[in-house]
Chains A and B, each alone.
Chain A
Amino acid sequence: MAKRTIEPLLWTLFSAGGVIAALFIPIQLLLFGVVFPLGLAEAPSRERMLGLIGHPLTRLYLFVMCTMALLHAAHRFRFTLYDGLQIKHLNELINLFCYGGAIVLSIWTLVLLWHIP
């Protein structure tokens, strides 16, 4: 019997996360990373941001977007290290770093979004 692996699940998460990252990240980064810092438009006030983040739908969106993007990035970065640098002998360490990092940051996301004042 073929050995069952977690690989298909990881590839599915990679694809789903890739779509979410492609659709939603560029505009958010454009606004918060470039447009607001350069003063091309005014950043939302803290009250407005708190209201937005406090909404259950926004929180659900932020949680799904962040965790899926992290899992996508972890999977792809793992193969970047495999193929780009050809450090195949460090498999376990790379997996721990990539997926471990994604899981730790996902937990932080959950903790941050769990309670909004």
Chain B
Amino acid sequence: MNETPIYTEYHPRWYRRRVSTYWWLERSSYLLFILRELSSAFIAWFVVFTLLGIRAVKLGPDSYQAYLNWAASPFLIIVNLVTLFFVVLHAATWFNLAPKAMVVHWRGRKVPGEWIAYANYGAWAVASLVIALILLI
């Protein structure tokens, strides 16, 4: 964008402040916003990681063992720990926003927002427990 705006007599240009490409570093709330949005890339990585696992299970015992070894390499553990941070950030921010996206009425009264958030966290706990039991027992 031109630093010195060109004005003509009849068509003055609008004044628009230039926004830095790194605007999201200016405040911690902006940074949290962009980190939350970036969680999308890590969700995509999780799906790829899972699909590779399904593929390995299908291919045979050797492939499955190779997949487990690969997942246990230091690099992959670090990648997945970072991914875990982002998916938990996604889950927490998502459930905290749920009351704003979903207004529930019960017998003519608005259900308090905290209840909606608690219900979401409860569902998260139940889903996690069920999956953990299936995979660990």
Contact = CB atoms under 8 A, between A and B. Distances in A.
Interface string A76-117: 110110011110000000000000011001001100110011
B43 A66 contact: no
B48 interface: yes
Interface of B: 19, 21, 24, 34, 37-41, 43-44, 46-51, 53-55, 57-58, 60-61, 64-65, 68, 71-72, 76-77, 80-81, 83-84, 87-88, 90-91, 94-95, 101, 120, 123-124, 127-128, 131-132, 134-136
Contacts of B77: 33-34, 37-38
B71 A83 contact: no
When A and B form their complex, which 7 residue pairs have the shortest distance between CB atoms, in order from nearest? Answer: A33-B80, A76-B40, A27-B128, A22-B91, A37-B72, A73-B40, A80-B37
B43 A21 contact: yes
A69 B43 contact: yes
B80 to A, nearest CB: 3
B76 A37 contact: yes
A23 B123 CA distance: 7
Interface size class of A (residues with CB under 8 A): 35 or more
A46 to B, nearest CB: 4
Contacts of B134: 52
